[in-house]
Structure 1
Amino acid sequence: MSVIQSIRDKAAWIIIGAIALALIAFIVQDALQGGGRGLFSGNSTTLGKVNGTSIDVRDFEQRYKMAEENYRAQNYPVNDQLRSQIRESLWNEFVEDALMTDEYAKLGITISDKEVGDLLYGANPPQMLRQQFTDSTGTYNANMAYQAIRSLKKGSAQYNSFWGEFVPALEKSRQREKFTSLVGKSMYVPKWLLEKTNAENSQRSSISYVNVPYSTIPDSTIKISDEDVREYVDKHKDAYKQENERGLIYVSFDASPNSADSLSVYNSVANQKDALAAANTTSDIQNLMANTSSETPYFDGYVLSSKMQMSNADTLRRLADGQIIGPYQDGPNYTMAKMVSRRQMPDSVKCRHILIKIGDQQGQARTDSAAKKLIDSIETALKGGANFDSMVVKYSDDAGSKDKKGEYEFTSMQFSNLSKEFAEVIFYGNVGDKKIVKVENQSYSGYHYIEVLSQKKFETAFKIAYVSHAIIPSDETINGASGMASQFAGESRDLKSFDDNAAKRKLNKLQADVKESDFMIMGLGESREIIRWAFNDAKRGTVADHAYQVGDKFVVPAVVSVSEKGTMSVEKARPLVEYKVRNEKKAEGIIKKIGTAPTSLEAVAQASGQQILRADSVTFNSTFIPNVGNEMKVLGASFNKEYQTKVSAPIKGEIGVFVIKVDNITAAPNPNFDAKAQQQAIQQQMGAMFGYRAMEIMKKSATIKDNRIKFF
């Protein structure tokens, strides 16, 4: 019947909640297979190691399977981007578990049974529980949640899912909260440091300066050797770290449907018009949908006019009963629509019910005849004046509504979530109707005694049947693109022939840099097989010996560069550091010209051909100087009191070489400075930030071996 009832019986909310938790939110691609190597490449099942602790691929696969089933069951759009994002979350969760299990034990961070109870039934329950067990007043009904959880049978799949997945995830999340709070509260900012910082930030400086721009020396006069680049990178290794990467080029051959394919699908849909016209019963329409493999399932219900959001809604509303339009293009499909019927229907209803279930109830087997006899006796008692609320409490098997007098409110958008027999009574009947209906679905079988209490916001609703076929490429189109791609791969066995053949065929060569953990190539989509080939089977200069199908394309890739984890090579670093090395060489030339110890700004200006300029109101806590820019070295020198009596030594800046003289340093006191209040605010801010960054710091300090590329 209702969503709440379904929740109680099937515990779908447990799964939804488990997914909703950030620490167990994940989904991985279909099956841990790839490249024809099977599930476990070789004999090893070690997906990775964290400080020597192994992550087993079988555990990873088990979590993946459950997540995929759950996401699909909830009709999530499981696309390539979502797979990639949540797959990474799953890996991070395993890494975090390996890092933190021992740390939590050392720190004594545990979760007691009382805390678990507070998490489930306290003032701040998980969002999923709050949504499912909030009563009509908007208050979380902890007792309702407690009764639903207690009703789970020990050893059942629902019980194991709740106590084996959902609750441990809650505990893990709470442990992390405790850890981050503990780390965050360790932050301390001394009062003297705040006072010193406040005094420094109140300073203002005025300077005179000469800037000799690097642009005064032509780039063509400065030659940068590989040795120059290597020396620079060696001095700044931390800034030029790299992960395992492969540089790819690829060409693609389009296998998307052409005009002939589109026309073929159009005709296929159009040929069903007579059959659709003749289908006048629900069974007839459902059989037609099945026989024609229609993309759009038949919804044997009505949709309110205001809820019809499709682009051609106005046209559909104007159809007479039995009238058909189409085929017309509806997104990726060709569709025909038939107006089956229309009726007046409320947008919201309120009802109350008593459920008597068939089957094992409270340790006793209840037959169909026994359930029917009981519901009939309840109806008789109610007609005789029995109190409905008392009957709900005493007899109803819907634990989710016992505390609400058996009452529910539904909107028309929930129609399809309800048992059909139940929904038709409350939406198609009249206020005051009292009926018994039998319901049989995946959740339960049983009898409902239903009373319709109110119906609101009536409007016209429409029942429409659709025959819809996807516009897909024909075998001829697919084979043609596949054949051309295979021929290209066969003729292009090295990078030179790859380039020559691409130019001869006027194919667009695209580039991509990929890491081991990537599952997508920008512009292509899910491309894991190509990435696995690039890391497992290919070297620099290798061209794939066959084409890979990616969506509606056949792709032939080649590896043009290989970057191993560590410091960047000269070749890769050159584009990033060449201008910096060039500026350093220019700075040396400029300093040689103006001298290493200039006596005055006038002498520097004369030697360099530049003007003496001024900058007023340079603030200590700023990140730039007016009319100069982000020159942090110059900004720092602007508050050096020594330069009030002499000019500075040449300063190698970002845009040129500077020589400055400090004209004046003043202070603008801050009358609103409150050391204690600022101390508290900064400690709170820094504590929260560092508490959450601590995990990332631990990951960087750990020895993590990632073998995912070997498995999937």
Structure 2
Amino acid sequence: MISLESIRRKTGLVLLVIGLGMGAFILMDLMSASGSRKGVTNIVLKVFEDEYDLTEFQQRVQNVSKNQQNQDRSISDVRDSEFNSFKREKIFENQFNKLSIEVSKEENKDMIYGDNVHPVLKQSEIFINPETGLFDNQLVVEYLQNVAQDQTGQGEISFRSFEKQIQYARKEQKYNVLLFQSSYVTEDFALSTYENQNSFRDVSYISIPITTIPDSFIAISNSEIKDYLKNNSDQYQQEESRSFSYVVFDIVPSEIDSNIAKMYLENIKEEWLDFESNDSANSIFVNKYSDGNMSDFYNISIEELTNSYISKNSLLYNNQIYGPVVSGEGYSLLKIHKQDASKLAKEQYLDSIRVSVIFKNIFAGSQSRKKVFAEAGSFCTNNNNKKLFNQAVIDLGLTKRIKEEMKKGETNIVGLNDPNEIISWINEANEGDVSSVFSLDEKFVVVCLDLIKEKGTKDINEVETEIKSILIKKQKENIIIEEINTANYNSLSDLIDIFGGEIKNIKQISFNDSQIPGLGQELDFIGSVFATDKGSLTKPIKGQSNIYVANVDSISNPVDSNFYGVLDQLKNMSKNRSLYDAFIALEKQAEVIDNRINLNYY
């Protein structure tokens, strides 16, 4: 039987379950009820007009943060990752509801203790019969019977949370099957793909470099640049973004702070020297006074001892303390334990000595922090606009760090951990503003908002050079093509006589090629060649850097029409992409509103 005490001990069941088995599915909210909550005021996410409260998302983040095994992840990383999962689930749940995709009570029982138990439950040790070493349905039943009697409620919370996860996974599985079954590839498309893969062309061609016409021969007016931007504005769209600079003032311990750490160890030397006790008591003493867990004894080589703690040829004694000496980012004391006195007097007979160590970090004290804060405060007070900020950085020899075009929703700034306050200020500040001093970890930061770009078409000044180059290239292409079209030629040799150059050959070009040997990515070249009959010349082709004319020397088509293998491949590709493609399409339709920034929770 599974006891209540066992339930309490194994409340972490769902944590194990999530870690082992739910990687293929999205982590569900462990505590909050699912579904939309219209009318809430603390909205963190809105999809398809459904609103979701910050509290639901916060609880989810707290659970994942508490249970995560990788402690190197910052809270910002956890929040960002969980928000993407949270958004994905809510988008799909909307579709589940519209399509009436549900999990029946019978299905739920079947996944938990029926004939088709969820794989994660089968792998959980708590439900493995110790006699058979196999999963035992009856142990699940016993667990659920005892969960209701657990006064703490933790067992039921954990299991019901897991139950929600597998129900969501089953709904997503059903939805995916619907997408699979609706995926369709026509035989005509498969035949076309098969022919494209197995048809080849041998060609000869000439190329006329666009650079044969100097840029200086082409005049581009401002009105032409404006018209191009207007007519092609869809290619020059930008998201709202903010670019900023920041200066970091590191809080570094002073000489006074160093002396405080050193004196701390000096003050405990006598007590430790008089401390006569067993190894366990010594470990407690060391751990009490040391920064970090230094309670274990270890052996130190004579060479390391003489390099770090004592001078060469010094006499060694049992229970002797050496130090404090500089050690990494602090000071350490070392004590020798229980050595053979005769050998200790002649250290050359010892390979190593048993010791314990007390370590003290050098921390920046309040005076050190105040000093650095005063420097940062003086900097932002005296340089309260963009011009003064940039000049002061140069004059004071400071390092200016730059973040270009930070989009809404971005949460990372290089070198700064969890910079929520800074990001909130950046999103509210005006262009050219300089911040007050921000305190982050062991550093102070001052920020200058350099540039704000609004959502929409890019400013003409930003793209003028690029557009001008495009227009110059187009005019040069048109000049060369017009010269070709007005020339009297019937072969590539005739064009060589007029424009110079040489005839080159390419073998076995496929319509599916993305690169042409010697030419690179020239898709228009491939398309023109496959649209031209054998023995005929193509029309002039605009390339990346050249104008081409090609002759189709030979055509090789597939000898049969056995395209069914290709048809199966295309069907599998369509099915495998169905869920991903569906999410991308639904995300666009959902008109997602991410309100984390306004709630200062990112």
TM range (shorter): 0.7 to 0.9
**Correspondences of 1:37-48 after superposition (within 5 Å):** 44-48=41-45
**Correspondences of 1:216-365 after superposition (within 5 Å):** 216-218=212-214, 231-232=227-228, 234-237=230-233, 239-257=235-253, 261=257, 264-265=260-261, 268-269=264-265, 272-276=268-272, 278=275, 280=277, 282=280, 285-286=283-284, 289-290=287-288, 292=289, 294-296=291-293
- Residues 1:95 and 1:266: Cα distance change in structure 2 (over 3 Å): same
Counterpart-to-counterpart distance in 2, 1:509 and 1:244: 23
Any conservation in 2 of the 1:222–1:585 contact (CA below 8 Å)? yes
- Residue 173 (structure 1) aligned with residue 61 (structure 2): no
Counterpart residue number, 2:597: 709
- Residues 1:484 and 1:131: Cα distance change in structure 2 (over 3 Å): farther
Counterpart residue number, 1:202: 198
- Residues 1:663 and 1:674: Cα distance change in structure 2 (over 3 Å): closer
- Residue 565 (structure 1) aligned with residue 562 (structure 2): no
- Residues 1:178 and 1:9: Cα distance change in structure 2 (over 3 Å): same
**Correspondences of 1:67-78 after superposition (within 5 Å):** 67-71=64-68, 76-78=70-72
Counterpart residue number, 1:65: 62
**Offset of residue 26 of structure 1:** 9.1
SS in 2 for 1:507: coil
Counterpart-to-counterpart distance in 2, 1:666 and 1:694: 39
SS in 2 for 1:211: strand
- Residue 552 (structure 1) aligned with residue 442 (structure 2): yes
- Residues 1:641 and 1:552: Cα distance change in structure 2 (over 3 Å): same
Counterpart residue number, 2:502: 611
Instruction: Please point out which of 180, 184, 193 is paired with 1:188.
Output: 184
SS in 2 for 1:710: coil
Counterpart residue number, 2:348: none
Counterpart residue number, 1:211: 207
**Offset of residue 638 of structure 1:** 1.4
- Residues 1:612 and 1:676: Cα distance change in structure 2 (over 3 Å): closer
Any conservation in 2 of the 1:250–1:510 contact (CA below 8 Å)? yes
SS in 2 for 1:520: coil
SS in 1 for 2:248: strand
Counterpart-to-counterpart distance in 2, 1:332 and 1:120: 53
SS in 1 for 2:598: helix
Counterpart-to-counterpart distance in 1, 2:219 and 2:28: 53
> Normalization by structure 1: what TM-score?
0.67
**Offset of residue 632 of structure 1:** 0.6
Counterpart-to-counterpart distance in 1, 2:190 and 2:181: 18
Report the residue type matching 2:554 in the other structure. Answer: N
**Offset of residue 576 of structure 1:** 6.6
Counterpart-to-counterpart distance in 2, 1:481 and 1:642: 77
**Offset of residue 503 of structure 1:** 1.2
Report the residue type matching 1:569 in the other structure. Answer: D
Encode CA deviations 1:513-566: one digit per residue, 9 max, x unaligned: 322212211243432221111112x1222222x122333332221122212334
- Residue 11 (structure 1) aligned with residue 11 (structure 2): yes
Counterpart-to-counterpart distance in 1, 2:188 and 2:382: 73
- Residues 1:56 and 1:294: Cα distance change in structure 2 (over 3 Å): same
**Offset of residue 225 of structure 1:** 6.7
Counterpart-to-counterpart distance in 2, 1:573 and 1:132: 63
- Residues 1:664 and 1:474: Cα distance change in structure 2 (over 3 Å): same
**Offset of residue 13 of structure 1:** 2.5
- Residue 56 (structure 1) aligned with residue 56 (structure 2): no
Report the residue type matching 2:438 in the other structure. Answer: Y
Instruction: Please point out which of 536, 552, 555 is paired with 1:662.
Output: 552
**Offset of residue 228 of structure 1:** 5.4
Counterpart residue number, 1:383: none
- Residues 1:559 and 1:224: Cα distance change in structure 2 (over 3 Å): farther
Report the residue type matching 2:512 in the other structure. Answer: N
Counterpart-to-counterpart distance in 2, 1:539 and 1:252: 21
Counterpart residue number, 2:148: 153
Aligned length: 553
- Residues 1:111 and 1:532: Cα distance change in structure 2 (over 3 Å): same
Any conservation in 2 of the 1:51–1:702 contact (CA below 8 Å)? yes
- Residue 635 (structure 1) aligned with residue 526 (structure 2): yes
SS in 2 for 1:649: coil
Any conservation in 1 of the 2:286–2:357 contact (CA below 8 Å)? no
Counterpart-to-counterpart distance in 2, 1:578 and 1:114: 68
Higher strand share: 1
Counterpart-to-counterpart distance in 2, 1:5 and 1:511: 56
SS in 2 for 1:498: helix
Instruction: Please point out which of 548, 572, 577 is paired with 1:684.
Output: 572
Counterpart residue number, 1:350: none
- Residue 584 (structure 1) aligned with residue 474 (structure 2): yes
Counterpart-to-counterpart distance in 1, 2:419 and 2:167: 36
- Residues 1:534 and 1:607: Cα distance change in structure 2 (over 3 Å): farther
- Residue 531 (structure 1) aligned with residue 423 (structure 2): yes
Counterpart residue number, 1:399: none
Encode CA deviations 1:433-469: one digit per residue, 9 max, x unaligned: xxxxxxxxxxxxxxxxxxxxxxxxxxxxx99966444
Counterpart-to-counterpart distance in 2, 1:17 and 1:655: 58
**Offset of residue 650 of structure 1:** 2.5
Report the residue type matching 2:595 in the other structure. Answer: N
SS in 1 for 2:597: helix
Counterpart-to-counterpart distance in 2, 1:337 and 1:133: 50
Unaligned runs of 5+ in 2: 31-39, 308-315, 340-352
SS in 1 for 2:147: coil
* Aligned-pair Cα RMSD in Å: 4.2
**Offset of residue 630 of structure 1:** 0.7
**Offset of residue 628 of structure 1:** 0.7
Any conservation in 2 of the 1:222–1:582 contact (CA below 8 Å)? yes
SS in 2 for 1:664: strand
Instruction: Please point out which of 570, 573, 583 is paired with 1:695.
Output: 583
**Offset of residue 293 of structure 1:** 6.4
- Residues 1:601 and 1:560: Cα distance change in structure 2 (over 3 Å): farther
Encode CA deviations 1:473-496: one digit per residue, 9 max, x unaligned: 333433332222211111222221
Counterpart-to-counterpart distance in 1, 2:318 and 2:567: 73
Report the residue type matching 1:697 in the other structure. Answer: A
Identity of aligned residues (%): 24
Any conservation in 2 of the 1:643–1:660 contact (CA below 8 Å)? no
**Offset of residue 327 of structure 1:** 6.4
**Offset of residue 241 of structure 1:** 3.9
Deviates more, 1:507-516 or 1:326-335: 326-335
Any conservation in 2 of the 1:26–1:87 contact (CA below 8 Å)? no
Counterpart-to-counterpart distance in 2, 1:595 and 1:272: 96
Any conservation in 2 of the 1:17–1:128 contact (CA below 8 Å)? no
Encode CA deviations 1:310-353: one digit per residue, 9 max, x unaligned: xx9xx9xxx999787876888766555778899xxxxxxxxxxx
Counterpart-to-counterpart distance in 2, 1:587 and 1:535: 45
- Residues 1:640 and 1:502: Cα distance change in structure 2 (over 3 Å): same
**Offset of residue 687 of structure 1:** 0.4
**Offset of residue 568 of structure 1:** 3.4
**Offset of residue 166 of structure 1:** 2.2
SS in 2 for 1:512: strand
- Residue 126 (structure 1) aligned with residue 109 (structure 2): no
Report the residue type matching 1:248 in the other structure. Answer: F
- Residues 1:234 and 1:123: Cα distance change in structure 2 (over 3 Å): farther
- Residues 1:603 and 1:284: Cα distance change in structure 2 (over 3 Å): same
SS in 2 for 1:477: helix
Any conservation in 1 of the 2:534–2:555 contact (CA below 8 Å)? no
**Offset of residue 135 of structure 1:** 6.5
- Residues 1:563 and 1:269: Cα distance change in structure 2 (over 3 Å): farther
Counterpart residue number, 2:343: none
Counterpart residue number, 2:34: none
> Normalization by structure 2: what TM-score?
0.78
- Residues 1:107 and 1:265: Cα distance change in structure 2 (over 3 Å): same
- Residues 1:485 and 1:189: Cα distance change in structure 2 (over 3 Å): same
Report the residue type matching 1:561 in the other structure. Answer: L
- Residues 1:583 and 1:266: Cα distance change in structure 2 (over 3 Å): farther
Instruction: Please point out which of 354, 361, 385 is paired with 1:494.
Output: 385
Any conservation in 2 of the 1:597–1:650 contact (CA below 8 Å)? no
**Offset of residue 206 of structure 1:** 1.7
Any conservation in 2 of the 1:18–1:165 contact (CA below 8 Å)? no
